Structure 1
Amino acid sequence: MPMTTQAIELDCRILSPALLEPVRIAGKTFEEIPCLQVELRCGPHRGRGEAAGVFYMKDDPAGMPAQLERLRPALREGLDREQLRRLMPPGGARNALDCALWDLEARQTGHPAWQIAGLDEPRPIRTAFTLSANDPETMARRATVGLHGQGDTLKLKLTGDAPLDIERVRAVRHARPTVWIGVDANQAYTPASIEALLPALAACRVQLLEQPFARGREQDMAAIDFPMPTAADESCLDLRELETLPGRFDMVNIKLDKCGGLTEGLLMARRARELGLRVMVGNMGGTSLATAPAFLLGQLCDVVDLDGPTLLAQEHGPAVRYAG
């Protein structure tokens, strides 16, 4: 790849942007979503990237600067993205640095990142808007206001309490009769506990079920006759784990924080197609700086879930534009 061999200098900072309100998923409530921002300097050029990490893998921004410190000698030798993939494991630290390298290369060469990646010029893409797990009445009300009310694609967070989850889905479907609905269980179900849920999801015309069972229990997926497509999230972190999904899941949710950056994310999307899997892009939260490279990956995806910046009380810099 055409990168300069000039020394690259690295700066890191950790932000904790305030959320509009707590975000609840199965087993966890987020009061804030800290993120690491990386800036690279090479001569007159700057490149930036951001990562929130993968909380269920104990990958958090507080530990990322120490991981990146080990790469300062390689950066001073002119580290490129392929070298980074060999030197550092997947995760948030590599994601922030990889995306900063994409940004730096675009500024150095005068070519946009989409062009360097061999993509078509980006087009607007439809994102899902996520409804945090709450009581059914609150979720139904929120499905009708703001961006949730304007959009035609909703993703509902479930908690593993089947009777309550059924009421949540029914309430949102009643409030939004024609909207596309996907649900995300975040590993909350088992093959036994999901039996009551599936007929209700089908009756409510749910079109995607994401990560019903725990990471490590992927073999259980093949034993269930799911009435809608299923997506792997926690069950697939990176390119290597992608190979285990055919016959178990229909789709993979690629997140740059999981796989370690846009470089690997693009490889995953293309390999998923070869394996007969559909492709989704999501994020672990963060500002528009984290969403921008995921937006490029979204150009290759069937389902897009990039509403992270809409959860923030305030952006820190240029912002993604959400419209309609």
Structure 2
Amino acid sequence: MREITVEAQSWPIAGAFTISRGAKTEARVVVATVSEDGLTGYGECVPYARYGETEKDTIAAIKAQQPALSDGMTREALQRAMPRGAARNALDCAMWDLEAKRAGRPAWELAGLAKPRALTTAYTLSLAAPDAMEVAAAAAAERPLLKLKLGQGGDEDIARVEAVRAGAPRAALIVDANEGWKAEDVMPLAREFARLGVSLIEQPVPAKDDEVLRGIESPVPLCADESAHGLEGMKRLVGIYDFINVKLDKTGGLTEALSVMRCAKARKLRVMVGCMVATSLAMAPAMLVAQQADYVDLDGPLLLAEDRTPALRYEGSLVYPPEPELWG
């Protein structure tokens, strides 16, 4: 009989991680395991208050699936049994891991994918004063892709990007407003950021307001994050955004994330695969989706004071696929 266990864990962040909605000094994750016949599959998620998720509710939602799992629930049935979100992500990924171990085959092979390769990930700079962001950018100047957390728009955000560009003149830049801008700020800021060589603007306005972006001709491509969750609603994003940010905590696991990737390609939406601040266990299944992405942002473990063991292998900004000892 398959059995579920679930626990909350805390992983200290190196310093603090700050975005427009606030700062934190630890990564709070929930780890689910599914065990059967002496084998155990693992999955990790990050409950996110922005989406109304709490640690307590996430743990309860995972535990509630024990009867169905004991009765032989499949991953396909799991998609129907639980709404997309962090809880389903942890359980879905744990089931993938268990399936791979039972089959004696890697998860990528079970998913019908090509053998994964090492990828270049973005490296995130937290929101801070421009001079502090310039120092952080200079320290990360050899990384090929930097992602900047910005604030409420206006001259202060322009100063931040100018400072980062001065600190890291050769790096490609993504800026992430985390819904912090007003609609009237988007085009003026996009023009300034085009001048500064920014490659992508992520979630400039609140998700509830993103229709204001429909049809505008931004000189820098726009990417949906908080506006893009799973398969439902993707059609509406066409004509508003150029990219979507696929995160397993939003899609509710690897199963739907792979479907979202296929749907995005069919709708001519380009893709960034992103993450929450979490350990290598959360990044590992996302590496399979990221193989087909235009941008990869799987730097969560790089922002921690320490990662779990075993961990993904990072060499600078190059991240390697997981070994079976970690996941899949």
TM-score (norm 1): 0.95
Q: Trace 1:146-165 onto structure 2 (pairs within 5 A).
A: 148-165=140-157
In structure 2, the residue matched to 1:4 is none
Equivalent of 2:250, from 258, 261, 264?
258
In structure 1, the residue matched to 2:199 is 207
RMSD: 1.2
Q: Is the 8 A contact 2:85 2:250 kept in 1?
A: yes
Q: Is the 8 A contact 2:11 2:304 kept in 1?
A: yes
In structure 2, do the counterparts of structure 1 residues 243 and 223 end up closer, same or farther at CA, with 3 Å as the change threshold? closer
Q: Is the 8 A contact 2:17 2:24 kept in 1?
A: yes
Deviation string, structure 1 residues 10-59 (Cα, Å, up to 9, x no partner): 11110011111111111211222211001111012110000002320121
* Equivalent position SS for 1:207: strand
Q: Deviation of residue 274 (structure 1)?
A: 0.2
Q: Percent identity?
A: 41
Equivalent of 1:96, from 90, 98, 106?
90
Q: Trace 1:121-136 onto structure 2 (pairs within 5 A).
A: 121-136=115-130
Q: Is the 8 A contact 1:64 1:92 kept in 2?
A: yes
Q: Deviation of residue 171 (structure 1)?
A: 0.9
Task: Tell me the distance in 1 between the aligned counterparts of 2:59 and 2:267.
Answer: 35
Equivalent of 2:45, from 47, 51, 65?
51
Equivalent of 1:12, from 6, 11, 16?
6
Deviation string, structure 1 residues 151-172 (Cα, Å, up to 9, x no partner): 1000101111411110110011
Q: Deviation of residue 238 (structure 1)?
A: 1.1
* Equivalent position SS for 1:194: helix
Q: Deviation of residue 195 (structure 1)?
A: 4.2
The residue identity in structure 2 corresponding to 1:263 is: T
Task: Tell me the distance in 2 between the aligned counterparts of 1:149 and 1:98.
Answer: 37
Task: Tell me the distance in 1 between the aligned counterparts of 2:55 and 2:272.
Answer: 24
* Equivalent position SS for 1:285: coil
Q: Is the 8 A contact 1:210 1:233 kept in 2?
A: yes
Q: Is the 8 A contact 1:52 1:60 kept in 2?
A: no
Task: Tell me the distance in 2 between the aligned counterparts of 1:290 and 1:150.
Answer: 26
Q: Is the 8 A contact 1:272 1:279 kept in 2?
A: yes
Structure 1 stretches of 4+ with a deviation exceeding 6 A read none
2:320 is the counterpart of 1:320: no
Q: Deviation of residue 104 (structure 1)?
A: 0.2
In structure 1, the residue matched to 2:138 is 144
Number of corresponding residues = 316
Task: Tell me the distance in 2 between the aligned counterparts of 1:231 and 1:195.
Answer: 14
Q: Is the 8 A contact 2:153 2:189 kept in 1?
A: no
Q: Deviation of residue 223 (structure 1)?
A: 4.8
Q: Is the 8 A contact 1:54 1:258 kept in 2?
A: no
Q: Is the 8 A contact 2:187 2:218 kept in 1?
A: no
* Equivalent position SS for 1:224: coil
Unaligned runs of 5+ in 2: 317-328
TM-score (norm 2): 0.94
Q: Is the 8 A contact 2:175 2:198 kept in 1?
A: yes
